[in-house]
């Protein structure tokens, strides 16, 4: 029986939604302020871009290690510790006066990604397997909703009070979540789990599987377009289209609308048509959306709707592709599902970090949106080729 604010019973679902949502909020809320922050710290946009790419890289590293650590030392202490570090790092970033100090604390904020990863693990701890998928869907709802409203909140705060207000809001959200976790989340892990040594021993079996690589690269390329968009949105919205921070935040929320719709389509049709077919459909949606946007720009059309409007297809394609190829990657070696999930997530987010940094480096006012659109279109094609490789490989094995 679940009793809210009683850590002697399993945690309330609201608590799990908030700890996963906090990580997503930290990733996206400050993006409309990147240009203003570049001016404040008197640096280049490409350097300021490390605030996103460095954060993603740190998140990718955590994906590999956090599972075994929490198996050994418990979920509760890891979640409490990570959120506490996040709050301190957020205040440090808010008070920073140099870009070096800011980036140090910003990357330290990635500790909160621990909560995102452990939210799903806690679900597996407290409910039977046949209920876990449904509950995980509710828990990760925060990761679908927050990217829609987070940048809008951040853009509004930056426009009204300056970029520091965004980080003050993040710190307050972190403190509130920390208090909730303290009173509602007890220890859920049973046993000692998998050790680092045992986990690392399984890596060669996974990394030598072509099908695993096909699925993981499909997820990396599909999400890569979105991460590239995150890296370039602030510059595109402010310096190219002249949008206010509030409208920049609204524009950044458009892929999340598509992502929610794509998730619905996956839930509705994946069982009927299979994960490979759904991954193909999702990749084709990506290619259509990003290709159309690119063609409009090449034909001389330069308008925020022509750019951000087609980003709905970016979100929809990701919403279809990612659940299916992630399911595929952990099914290649079912007995290594946990390791595959952590390793696949690290590769996907690590690739996203590189692409977000690339997007920030190649964009200029003179080039307009074209370099970013080329990156997003190219990753869409590579996503399709990756899943086609999986299908080709499966046919060879039959």
Cβ–Cβ < 8 Å for 121, 148: no
CA 76 to chain centre: 23
All domains of the chain in start order, with CATH: 10-197 (1.20.1250.20), 202-398 (1.20.1250.20)
Cβ–Cβ < 8 Å for 11, 122: yes
pLDDT for the residue numbered 194: 58
pLDDT for the residue numbered 167: 96
Specify the 3-state DSSP secondary structure of 2. coil
- 333 secondary structure, DSSP code: S
Q: How far apart are CA 370 and CA 25, in angstroms?
A: 28
Candidates 318, 332, 357, 99; CA nearest to 219 is 318
Contacts of residue 134, Cβ cutoff 8 Å, sequence gap at least 6: none
Q: How far apart are CA 219 and CA 383, in angstroms?
A: 7
What does the buried/exposed string (b/e) look like for 352-363 if buried means 16 or more CB atoms within 10 Å of the residue's CB? bbbbbbbbbbbb
Q: What is the phi-psi region of residue 356: left when phi exceeds 0, alpha when psi lies from -120 to 50, beta otherwise?
A: alpha
Q: Would you give per-residue pLDDT tens digits along the chain (398 residues)? A: 656 666 667 777 788 888 888 888 898 898 888 888 999 999 988 888 888 888 888 888 887 777 677 777 778 888 899 999 999 999 999 999 999 999 999 999 999 988 877 776 677 667 665 555 456 656 665 666 676 678 888 989 998 999 999 999 999 999 999 999 999 888 776 655 556 677 677 778 778 888 889 999 999 999 888 888 888 888 888 888 988 888 888 888 888 888 888 878 887 887 788 888 999 999 999 999 999 999 999 998 888 888 998 999 998 998 888 888 877 887 777 666 666 767 777 888 888 888 888 887 888 888 888 999 999 999 999 999 999 998 998 777 76
Angle at 154 between CA 150 and CA 158, to 5 degrees: 175
Cβ–Cβ < 8 Å for 21, 142: yes
């Amino acid at each position: 029986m679940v009793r809210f604010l009683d850590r002697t019973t399993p945690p309330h679902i609201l608590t799990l939604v908030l700890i996963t949502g906090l990580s997503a909020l930290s990733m996206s809320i400050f993006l409309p302020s990147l240009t203003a922050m570049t001016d404040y710290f008197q640096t280049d946009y490409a350097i300021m871009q490390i605030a996103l790419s460095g954060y993603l890289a740190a998140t990718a590293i955590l994906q590999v290690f956090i599972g075994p650590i929490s198996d050994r030392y418990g979920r509760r202490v890891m979640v409490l510790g990570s959120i506490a570090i996040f709050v301190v790092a957020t205040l440090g970033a808010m008070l920073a006066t140099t870009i070096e100090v800011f980036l140090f604390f910003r990357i330290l904020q990635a500790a909160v990604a621990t909560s995102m990863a452990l939210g799903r693990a806690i679900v597996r701890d407290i409910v039977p397997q046949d209920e876990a998928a449904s509950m995980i869907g509710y828990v990760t709802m925060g990761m679908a909703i927050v990217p829609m409203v987070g940048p809008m909140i951040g853009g509004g705060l930056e426009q009204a009070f300056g970029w520091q207000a965004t980080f003050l809001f993040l710190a307050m959200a972190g403190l509130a979540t920390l208090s909730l976790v303290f009173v509602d989340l007890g220890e859920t892990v049973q046993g000692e789990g998998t050790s680092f040594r045992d986990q690392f021993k399984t890596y060669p079996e996974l990394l030598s599987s072509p099908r695993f690589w096909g699925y993981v690269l499909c997820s990396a390329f599909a999400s890569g377009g979105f991460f590239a968009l995150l890296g370039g949105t602030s510059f595109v919205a402010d310096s190219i289209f002249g949008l206010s921070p509030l409208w920049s935040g609204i524009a950044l929320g458009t892929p999340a609308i598509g992502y929610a719709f794509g998730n619905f389509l996956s839930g509705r049709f994946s069982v009927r048509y299979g994960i490979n077919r759904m991954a193909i459909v999702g990749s084709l949606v990506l290619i259509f959306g990003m290709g159309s946007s690119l063609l409009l720009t090449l034909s001389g059309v330069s308008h925020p709707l022509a750019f951000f409007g087609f980003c709905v297809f970016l979100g929809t394609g990701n919403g279809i592709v990612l659940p299916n190829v992630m399911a595929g990657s952990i099914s290649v070696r079912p007995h290594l599902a946990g390791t595959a999930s952590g390793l696949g997530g690290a590769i996907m987010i690590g690739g996203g970090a590189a692409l977000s940094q690339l997007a920030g480096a190649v964009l200029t006012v003179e080039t307009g949106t074209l370099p970013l659109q080329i990156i997003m279109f190219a990753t869409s094609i590579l996503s399709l080729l990756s899943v086609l490789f999986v299908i080709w490989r499966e046919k060879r094995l039959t």
